[in-house]
Amino acid sequence: MEAQLVHQHKSITPPKGVEVWDIDPYDEAILTNPIPFFAELRAKGGLAYIPRYEILISGRYEETREIFYDHARFLSSRGVGMADFKLEAPWRPPSIVLEVDPPEHTHNRRVIMRALSPSVVRKLEQDFVEDAQRLVDEVLAQGEIEAVAAIAEAFPTRVFPRAVGIKQPDARKLVDYGAMVFNAIGPDNPLRQRIMAKAPDIVPWINEQCDRAQLTEDGIGATIYAATDTGEIGEAEAGMLIRSLLSAGVDTTVSGIGSALWCLAQYPEQFQQLRADPAKRAGPAFEEALRFCTPVQAFFRTAADTTTVGGVEIEEGTKILCVLGAANRDAQKFANPDEFMIDRDTRGHLALGVGVHSCVGQIIARAEGRAILQALAERVSSIEFAGDPVWRPNNSMRALDTLPLKLR
């Protein structure tokens, strides 16, 4: 056992009735091709025990949803990665919205919810649509493109930092910071170590962008700082909430849009179905891509006390890896789960979580996804692979590294 890779958390004995599964879910071969692993995971039962990391893992829909929904029994404040913040210092000051429980969570989340409300996003949406149309016209003129750089990274890094009010966005640093945050969820493996080596170059830049003086006066960031004027939160908290936007708002949408493009190239008849009514079907197509590929593949929760899930007794302090990507392909919830079908009922998918911690940026994320898919469907008659797509291994994010496409 490679103990040095295991972040500190309580050593548990395998609960009665769960299978002991000698596997490394962070093996790069699994991270880049997770679907067979998901099937094996669900076949093990509601929970399995992984001795290598002394964790439980869940990948069936019912149990994964139960754990994710119950923030009182399954804590976020002890970290949503493998490390238990009670036992190991986190790599950065904990997020005051992701890595916290109610009531602090409720108070801080309210400030972000206001700043990312439907009325705020409705005003941004017209800009997103125009940017998406311009970007699609640009890439169409090129014919053959590498779509991760040209669309999946280009679009969110153009529109989101501007919406937040970042004056001089650095797309590379924003994408790399997201990669740090999401790789940090996993064990201290070479993947995590490689990206963390960039921290001295990236973290100070990110922190600087979170200062009030660095932000425009009309963006989402300014709205968050407005909550300091009433005393609802302090300056430091406002800065931390901006950091959350930059942590969770770039890599996730880059992954979601890249995955959606991959789905539409892989299933050309689905792209033609989208083209038949782009305005109406872009939203559902993006939603199905979220289910099918699930950008954030997994988060941990920590058992607050002894409890049971699906008849299995779980001891206090147990780390549970909740594999949202596997739950989203559970046939008990979604018929023909391994088919990408833009007209299916995707309700209840876990790509954006569920419960009090569900994605607070989901309205803006969906607006970005819709804008780019609609612009594509209105302008492009066919999307084909121009080479093999390559997935980029990441400890918790399913993301493409390169996606060569031919657009006509």
Please give the residue ranges that form the binding site for ligand OVV (CB under 6 A): 95, 97-98, 181, 244, 247-248
**Closest distance of CB 245 from ligand OVV, Å:** 8
Nearer to ligand OVV, 252 or 270 (CB): 252
**Closest distance of CB 181 from ligand OVV, Å:** 5
Nearer to ligand OVV, 253 or 346 (CB): 253
**Closest distance of CB 381 from ligand OVV, Å:** 36
Nearer to ligand OVV, 248 or 363 (CB): 248
| Segment holding 239, helix H or strand E | helix 235-248
Q: Structure tokens of 271? A: 């792209």
- Measured CA to CA, the distance from residue 76 to residue 228 in angstroms comes to 25
Q: Structure tokens of 358? A: 């569900």
Nearer to ligand OVV, 98 or 132 (CB): 98
Is residue 374 within 8 Å of residue 302, measured between CB atoms?
no
Nearer to ligand OVV, 10 or 110 (CB): 110
**Closest distance of CB 115 from ligand OVV, Å:** 14
Nearer to ligand OVV, 253 or 273 (CB): 253
Strands 48-50 and 19-20: parallel
**Closest distance of CB 79 from ligand OVV, Å:** 12
CB-based contacts of 217, cutoff 8 Å, min separation 6 = 165
**Closest distance of CB 98 from ligand OVV, Å:** 4
**Closest distance of CB 231 from ligand OVV, Å:** 22
For the chain, the maximum distance between any two Cα atoms, rounded to a whole number of angstroms, is: 60
Q: Structure tokens of 254? A: 């880059």
- Measured CA to CA, the distance from residue 23 to residue 112 in angstroms comes to 38
Give me the amino acid identity at 33.
N
Nearer to ligand OVV, 207 or 402 (CB): 207
* Residue 391, φ and ψ in degrees, nearest 5: -90, 145
**Closest distance of CB 151 from ligand OVV, Å:** 22
**Closest distance of CB 306 from ligand OVV, Å:** 28
Is residue 252 within 8 Å of residue 296, measured between CB atoms?
yes
- Measured CA to CA, the distance from residue 102 to residue 92 in angstroms comes to 21
* Inter-CA distances, 15 with 20, 51, 132, 139, 323, Å: 9, 12, 50, 53, 19
**Closest distance of CB 242 from ligand OVV, Å:** 10
Nearer to ligand OVV, 31 or 397 (CB): 397
| Segment holding 75, helix H or strand E | strand 74-75
Which residue, chain included where needed, has tokens 């998901």? 38
- Measured CA to CA, the distance from residue 168 to residue 209 in angstroms comes to 9
- Measured CA to CA, the distance from residue 236 to residue 178 in angstroms comes to 21
